A and B are shown apart, each in its own frame.
Chain A
């Protein structure tokens, strides 16, 4: 059975997290094993999509008050409040044939790892194009992909718990009069591992479930590895030059 690299980088700040994903993607090529990484966010953070306007989406003062990092991703999609969640990232080369050249097909394939991982936790879910995974009609995972340097990078969330009120205290809404209604709408539309199972599940438990999900889905074995020194050095550089740099955060 093929072996891929598993990175368990635990909890880091938003800028480090996004820099590691990019560094792994940048240094990957078809001679290397695909990488799956599991991580969390400390402090909690808001990430916004590549194309979003940070001043349009985020209450920056409120984030500062509550010690919530704000980072712009290199992937598209919407704003995410990273709090009680496990985040995965996946990197493979386009040439490897591990996933389809067709972007929507590859979303489905990679997301199926999360669906299988949730099944291990006894949660039924399914992929809904473009980039969501829903359980009982409610979103439990959001995903985003980019293709650069001949590689596929996809990262996504597995919501372990959800605090919609807190999330909305950090995000701006198009119309303040609608805030209450929007919070109620989102509460109906979002769920979590905790809500589905009626109990809290630890990060490690979710992490090992997702590991199984990726292994089953791609018929591979994930072997715990480490970032190479080259990846660490590049991640540090990308963190400084891009993700913690205001010209990146505020470019839109």
Chain B
């Protein structure tokens, strides 16, 4: 299934999600928006870290936090919780 969301992260920027998933697991996710992430190509590392993950908030947050820590990424205007919430909103929008 494919679905999308637009989510304003509290105290952060606007995040847009394109989500492809099946039976509660993520096939792929695309994160776009007006946020900052250093270095910029880290966004693909975050997107890839979510592949195959269950659509549960804590699972998503752990995966994102791991990608950020392992690759020394510095985000501004987005957070692991903000991205996880946006992804789950996209899932909700498919119904």
Residues of A whose CB lies within 8 Å of any CB of B are: 49-53, 56, 74-79, 103-104, 130-131, 144-148, 174, 252
> Which residues of B lie under 8 Å from residue A49 when comparing CB positions?
33-35
Chain B residue, CB-CB nearest to A175: B6
- The smallest C-beta distance from B40 to any residue of chain A, in angstroms, reads 5
Query: Is residue B57 within 8 Å, beta carbon to beta carbon, of the partner chain?
Result: no
Do A148 and B39 touch across chains, with their CB atoms under 8 A apart? Answer: yes
Q: A76 and B30: CB pair below 8 A?
A: no
- B interface vs A, CB < 8 Å? 6, 13, 16, 30-40, 43, 74, 76-77
Q: Indicate which residue in B6, B35, B39, B74 contacts A51 across the interface (CB closer than 8 Å).
A: B35
Residues of B near A174 (CB, < 8 A) are: 6
For B15, the closest partner residue in chain A by CB is A51
Q: How far is the CB of B55 from chain A (nearest CB, A)?
A: 22
A147–B39 contact, CB under 8 A?
A: yes
With A76-B36, A79-B34, A131-B36 given, name 13 new contacts (CB 8 A): A51-B31, A51-B32, A51-B35, A52-B33, A56-B16, A74-B40, A76-B35, A77-B35, A103-B74, A103-B76, A130-B76, A147-B38, A147-B39
CA A75 to CA B39, docked complex, whole Å: 10
Q: How far is the CB of A107 from chain B (nearest CB, A)?
A: 9
User: Which of chain A's residues have a CB closer than 8 A to the CB of B13?
Assistant: 78
Docked complex Cα distance between A104 and B36 (Å): 11
In the assembly, what is the distance between CA of A214 and CA of B6, in Å?
Answer: 38
A/B pair count, beta carbons within 8 Å: 54
- The interface residues of chain B, by DSSP majority, are classed as strand
Cross-chain contact A103 with B16 (CB below 8 angstroms):
no
**Which residues from A are CB-within-8-Å of B39?**
146-148
Query: A52, A74, A145: which has the most chain B beta carbons within 10 Å?
Result: A52
Which residue of the partner chain, among B16, B37, B38, contacts A53 with CB atoms under 8 Å?
A: B16
Known contacts A53-B16, A130-B77, A174-B6: does B32 contact A144 (CB below 8 Å)?
Answer: no
Interface centre among A51, A77, A145, A174 (most CB of B within 10 A): A51
Contact B38 A51 (CB under 8 A): no
In the bound complex, do residue B32 and residue A53 qualify as a contact, i.e. CB atoms below 8 Å apart?
Answer: yes
- What residues on B are CB-neighbors of A146 within 8 Å? 38-40
Q: Report whether A77 and B34 are in contact in the complex, using a CB–CB cutoff of 8 Å.
A: yes
Complex Cα distance, B36 from A79, in Å, reads 13
Closest to A77 in B: B34
Residues in B neighbouring A51, C-beta threshold 8 A: 31-35, 37, 40, 43
**Residues of chain A within 8 A of B34, CB atoms compared:** 49, 51-52, 76-79
Q: Which residue of A lies closest to B76 (CB)?
A: A130
Interchain Cβ contacts under 8 Å between A and B, 18 examples: A49-B33, A49-B34, A51-B33, A51-B40, A52-B32, A52-B33, A53-B16, A53-B30, A53-B32, A76-B34, A77-B34, A77-B35, A78-B13, A78-B34, A130-B36, A147-B39, A148-B39, A252-B32
Q: For the complex, what is the distance from the CA of A226 to the CA of B37, rounded to whole Å? A: 31
Chain A's nearest CB lies how many Å from the CB of B71?
Answer: 14
Could you say which residues of chain B place their CB within 8 Å of the CB of A144?
36
Residues of B within 8 A of A52 (CB): 32-34
Give the contacting residue for A252; candidates B30, B35, B74, B76; CB below 8 A.
Answer: B30
